[in-house]
Structure 1
Amino acid sequence: MPTTLKTGRGIYTIASAAPLARAAGSVVLTLSLERGDGIEKVALRCRIAIGLMRSADSDSAEKLIERIAPWLEREFEQTREAALKSIRAERHLLEISFDETNPGPF
């Protein structure tokens, strides 16, 4: 079952856009956010420190999405704007890091 966000811009579906990637001490989750009417699609990456994750989360994009969704719903406008700017101006996906200094939803 897809995870959805209820935002001021409408309902967005969140899905994993790529397999989880492992990096030194973290996992990188690439997310796709698509508005329900299909008019907008935004992608971004979340780098999550291994120390913040539960062991059950480390191999499951779906479990990580479930944990990130409430945070993303609260921070939607700022995150959406930053992701669009990153794609248009910098030509790469926005990457949000969750670690000990910025635990976010973890």
Structure 2
Amino acid sequence: MPTTLKTARGIYVIASARPLERNADAVVLTLSLERADGIEKVALRCRIATSLIGATDSPEKLIERIAAWLEREFEQTREAALKSIRTERKLLEISFDATHPGPFA
């Protein structure tokens, strides 16, 4: 069952958009947020320090952990993601590490 976010803008389905990228320091999860009625789709990347997660965490497990945080931070994250795509022509990347653990605290 897909993970959903309940936002002021409606319900969004959150899913992994690309295979998980792993290196020694972090994993990078590319997320797709699509409104349930299909009129909006936003993508972003989450760089998560390996020290915050298990070595074998699947994209689905990471999405479950990120979902509640993303639901709370949805408006700011959505705006930043759209701005990054429009002005910088690249996906917004949010980093979670020891100084900013976000949902991995």
List runs of 5+ in structure 2 lacking aligned partners. Answer: none
Give the drift of 1:23: 2.7
The aligned amino acid for 1:30 is T
Deviation string, structure 1 residues 12-47 (Cα, Å, up to 9, x no partner): 000000000013400000000000110000000000
TM-score by length of 2: 0.96
Q: Which residue of 1 aligns with 2:34?
A: 34
Tell me if structure 1 keeps the 8 A contact 2:24–2:50: no
List runs of 5+ in structure 1 lacking aligned partners. Answer: none
Q: Give the count of matched residue pairs.
A: 104
Q: Is 1:75 matched up with 2:97? A: no
Give the drift of 1:91: 0.1
Deviation string, structure 1 residues 40-59 (Cα, Å, up to 9, x no partner): 000000000000003442xx
1:11-50 matches, within 5 Å, as: 11-50=11-50
TM-score by length of 1: 0.95
**Aligned-residue CA RMSD in angstroms?**
0.8
User: How many angstroms apart in 2 are the aligned matches of 1:30 and 1:56?
Assistant: 17
Q: Which residue of 2 aligns with 1:105?
A: 103
User: How many angstroms apart in 1 are the aligned matches of 2:93 and 2:23?
Assistant: 14
Q: Which moved more, 1:15-24 or 1:65-74?
A: 15-24
Q: Percent identity?
A: 81
Q: Which residue of 2 aligns with 1:5?
A: 5
